[in-house]
Every structure is written in C-alpha cells, then in structure tokens.
Amino acid sequence: MKVEKVANGFCMSLPSIPMLLVALGFCLSWGAMPSEAAADRFFMMGDGRLAIENMHDGSYAEVSILNADGSLNEAGLRKIDEVFGFPTSEKGEHISPRLLFMLDYFTDLAGPGKTIHMISGYRSPEYNNKLRDKGANAARTSQHLDGMALDFYLDGVDGKELWELIRNRDCCGVGHYGGKSIHLDSGKPRFWEAATSKVRTTESEQNRRIYLTTDYDRYRIGDPLRLSFSSVSDFGFGVKPTVTFLADSGEEKTVAEARLETAAEADCSMVDDRRAARFMNLTVPAQLRPGRYRIKVEFCRSPFPTMPGSVVSNTVEIMEIMRPGA
C-alpha cells in the first residue's frame, strides 16, 4: 500500500480557500507532531491494523492506521473515512482516531484478525433525522453525527459478550440492543441495553449532555491540542476564551490555564455551527508537570437556563519531554 505523507495528502488537496483555512488547524495538529506522534498518543491501541466492511454498500478497507515510524497513516485514515461514508474534505477532519484505536484494541482482544462488519458509520444530520422519523434507535445528538461512533459485529463473537468486555473498561460509549451487533463510540463513558436506552427521551435536549473531547489522550508541553464538542442539540452558544487544566483527582483544582487560539478577542466566542464546535485549538501550557488532567471549558451567552455552565473533558496525560541523549 502506498503511504502518502500529510503534506502531500488531504491537507494540500482541499478545493477552496475557505476549506484550506478551516483545515489549517487540522494540518497543524496532525502534521506538526513528531514522528512518534500516534504510537503512544492513546490509552487504548491495538496493532494498528483494521479490516472493515460497510454492510450497506459493500465498501471495504484493510489498512494500517499507523506508518512504520509510528505516525498516523493519512492514506489509511482516508480509506477508513470512505468506508464510513465520512465527508473528509467537507469536515476538515477524519473519523475519530480515538474511536478507531479503541475499535482496534477491542477487536484484537475479542476476534483478532476478523473483519469488522459495520452496520452504521457516519450519519449526516439529515439522514439521522430520517432514521428517527422511522422509529429507529437514533439519538438526536448521536455520536454518529461527528464521526465518533459505529454499530458493528464480528463473525463468531457473541454481541452481549463483546458489550460486556467493553463496558467493563469504562472507557467509552457502548450499547447492545440484542443480537450480534453493538454500538461503540468515543464519547462519554456510559453503557446501555435496549431496556435502558434513552434515545427517545429529552435528556439531551438544550445541550444538557454536551461532551468535550481532546484529539489525543497524551501530550507533551508545547504540543497543539484540539478540543471538540459532541452531543450538541443546539448551536448558538458561547465559550469563554480561557480554559483551565484541572488535576484529575476528583477535585476541581486549577493547575494551569490556556487561551483558545480560535477565540475572538471578545470575552465570549460564539459556537454557531458544527464546524465551530469541532475546532477549538490551544497549546499545552508550560506550567503543567507530567501527570493526568482534565480540561474545563466555561460557557457564556447560553440560550437555555438548563444548559450546564461548563463542561470537563476526558482525561489527558502530560508526558515528560525526552531530552536529546537521555
């Protein structure tokens, strides 16, 4: 398989100036990483190889999502995007790499070498609404909308057992509605079965279940870091330009602050659409010591009194900087 570097791939082939500007943060955060970038950037990673088939259109990819030097394989990620039906150029990003590495990790445990049979991948808002109108188990704020989820099965692997394997790790979203397939997403850790599914409730309305994720799990001082919102029911809310790093100890103890590079000079930067919600960039501050943290973003100009005043991200780990000759 031909491996294409980021500089010669997606980041240099967008069709218009606006798309180039949108993707600039994407290229910087993906292309500026050192060669060992992805090899240790996630808490859960398998062997880096995926074989996945879209059961609706028959599209198939068998790729490595890592290059030999440990960096992300841009060509492999774009092939995965195609199987998921994900509009890479339009979105300015890929199917969630965290999702792919989780998928790789758990399928390596449950069915090493088996093809992943995908029943549902990316969904556009329009398609998701059609599913809901037909009575399908499709949440209004589904993680499928942001390329952070899939429904799948592995031949010869019991769906309930696979669900229990993932549920016990408390790492992500995993659902089982019966049968051989499960839902997996890289959103907030939670689990459900058919009887406990809440897709038809109003719990996620008015952004009450909004979730914040980072593009990686592990960083070093000075690395670019991208924050993204998911489970957004309504846009037209603001975020304060300064975010705080909290010690991952259960207490809201502020350790450091950083300013969003995408924020305007004003004290409240508006998030008016899905694209704005996906690209909030900052630099890992120098005050942080090696350890685990969570990132807190505060909201402003909230359109709903029931919307939370802030949201805290997944756990991230700040690693030591390797000195030359160490």
Q: State pLDDT tens for residues 130-184.
A: 998 888 888 889 999 999 999 999 999 999 999 999 999 999 999 999 999 999 9
Strands 60-64 and 49-54: antiparallel
Same domain, 228 and 134: no
Domain shared by 110 and 241, yes or no:
no
Q: Is the pLDDT of residue 76 over 50?
A: yes
Contact 284, 223 (CB under 8 A): yes
If asked whether residues 145 and 96 sit together in one domain, one would say: yes
Q: Are residues 127 and 176 in the same domain?
A: yes
Which of 166-171's residues contact partners 24+ apart within 8 Å by CB, and which partners? Answer: 166/106, 166/191, 167/191, 169/44, 171/43, 171/44, 171/102
Q: Is-contact 293 318, C-beta < 8 A?
A: yes
Kindly report the pTM of this predicted structure: 0.86
185 and 227 together in one domain: no
Residues 156 and 256 in one domain: no
Residue 193: strand pairing partners: 176
CA distance 80 to 94: 9
Q: Which domain holds residue 264?
A: 205-319
| Residue 325, in any domain of the structure | no
Report if residue 223 sits inside a domain.
Answer: yes
Residue 30's pLDDT is: 41
Q: Both 35 and 116 in a single domain? A: yes
Amino acid (1-letter code) at residue 94: H
Question: For residues 195-216, b (16+ Cβ closer than 10 Å) or e, as one string?
Answer: eeeebeeeebebbebbbbbbbb
Structural domain tally of the chain? Answer: 2
